[in-house]
């Protein structure tokens, strides 16, 4: 019943080429073997696990600690049994997975994925590893919108991970942006964080650039439904990509915000996100909390 476990990711072309491609040159082989680090193995496991929801491969189930698996998707029961029950309800052959991006930050692997999982959805998944096994899972899902203000999809844009030496600085940049701008500590500093020249937007309701962002926020405020960020729970990053996980209010609903930013030359230049309503306590299938990192 649990053969398809967990929601999907697959940047397999990138991961697979790093971990299994073979070269005739023995020196190259040594370099490639060295590339299969602990973190890269974690990425491969997540990719295979999330792909299994579509292809039915049973091997990736072994990547999960069966005695310690905490589920933070509040619509799913805890442990392997909870997710197995959800998967068993899927119409046969309906599930589709296309992983767009996958990253790692220490014991965490996080992915940006295009799903068909009880309908078309954009999603972010976060997995925590201990001793080589997955022990915890968080996610955030939003329905896919075909027509967007910017003309971009919720997934397109670069996937190249660069500037690994700037990971820490980029995480600090995003953390400060969330506090100063999104949470309102010092919103006038917005141009300290977002590029005034290039800001590519993948939120379906927001146009490109600072003007597009400002217009969208102004319209929400005029409608009496301002977007509010109240807590920032986690910042994860790898190189030029940083994921911010926050809590707040959108359209007068209690929501979780997952915002993925791309940083270039010390400024935010691209943004993807999902916004998901948090179910009330009486409608939750587990008591593990939406965040609790």
Tell me, what CATH number does 172's domain have? 3.10.450.50
Q: Report the percent of the chain where pLDDT is more than 90.
A: 79
Q: Are residues 185 and 122 in the same domain?
A: no
Domain-embedded: residue 5: no
Q: How many structural domains comprise the chain?
A: 2
Q: Which domain holds residue 244?
A: 164-279
Domain-embedded: residue 6: no
User: Measured in whole angstroms, how far is the alpha carbon of residue 2 from the centre of its chain?
Assistant: 23
Query: pLDDT band at 39, cuts 50/70/90?
Result: low
Domain-embedded: residue 150: no
DSSP annotation of 61 reads G
Q: Reply yes or no on whether the pLDDT at 250 is more than 90.
A: yes
Q: Are residues 179 and 76 in the same domain?
A: no
Nearest-angstrom CA–CA distance, 179 and 99: 30
The 10s digit of each residue's pLDDT in 261-286 is: 999 999 999 999 999 999 999 999 99
Domain-embedded: residue 149: no
Domain-embedded: residue 153: no
- Structural tokens at position 170: 């980029």
Decide which of 67 and 18 is more confident.
67
Nearest-angstrom CA–CA distance, 189 and 191: 6
Nearest-angstrom CA–CA distance, 50 and 127: 11
Q: Are residues 126 and 23 in the same domain?
A: yes
Nearest-angstrom CA–CA distance, 279 and 290: 9
Residue 240 and residue 262 in contact, taking contact as beta carbons nearer than 8 Å:
yes
Q: Are residues 58 and 90 in the same domain?
A: yes
Q: Are residues 21 and 124 in the same domain?
A: yes
Q: What is the pTM of this model?
A: 0.86
């Amino acid at each position: 019943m649990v053969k398809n476990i967990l929601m999907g990711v697959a940047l397999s072309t990138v991961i697979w080429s790093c971990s299994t491609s073979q070269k005739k040159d023995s020196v190259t082989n040594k370099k490639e073997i060295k590339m299969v680090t602990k973190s890269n193995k974690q990425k491969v496991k997540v990719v295979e696990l999330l792909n299994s929801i579509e292809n039915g491969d049973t091997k990736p189930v072994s990547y999960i600690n069966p005695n310690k698996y905490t589920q933070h998707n509040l619509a799913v029961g805890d442990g392997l049994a909870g997710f197995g029950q959800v998967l068993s309800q899927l119409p046969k052959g309906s599930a589709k997975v296309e992983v767009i991006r996958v990253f790692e930050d220490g014991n965490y692997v996080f992915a940006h994925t295009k799903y068909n999982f009880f309908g078309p959805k954009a999603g972010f998944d976060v997995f925590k590893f201990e001793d080589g096994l997955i022990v915890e899972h968080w996610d955030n899902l939003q329905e896919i919108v075909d027509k967007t203000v910017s003309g971009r999809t919720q997934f397109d844009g670069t996937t190249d991970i660069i500037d690994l030496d700037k990971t820490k600085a980029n995480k600090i940049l995003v953390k400060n942006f969330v506090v100063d701008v999104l949470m309102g500590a010092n919103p006038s500093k917005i141009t300290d964080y977002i590029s005034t020249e290039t800001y590519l937007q993948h939120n379906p309701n927001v146009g490109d650039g600072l003007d597009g962002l400002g217009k969208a926020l102004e319209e929400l405020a005029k409608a009496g439904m301002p977007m509010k960020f109240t807590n920032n729970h986690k910042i994860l990053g790898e190189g030029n990509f940083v994921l911010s996980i926050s809590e707040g209010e959108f359209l007068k609903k209690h929501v979780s915000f997952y915002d993925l930013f791309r940083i270039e030359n010390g400024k935010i230049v691209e943004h993807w996100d999902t916004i998901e309503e948090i179910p009330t306590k009486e409608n939750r299938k587990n008591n593990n909390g939406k965040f609790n990192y």
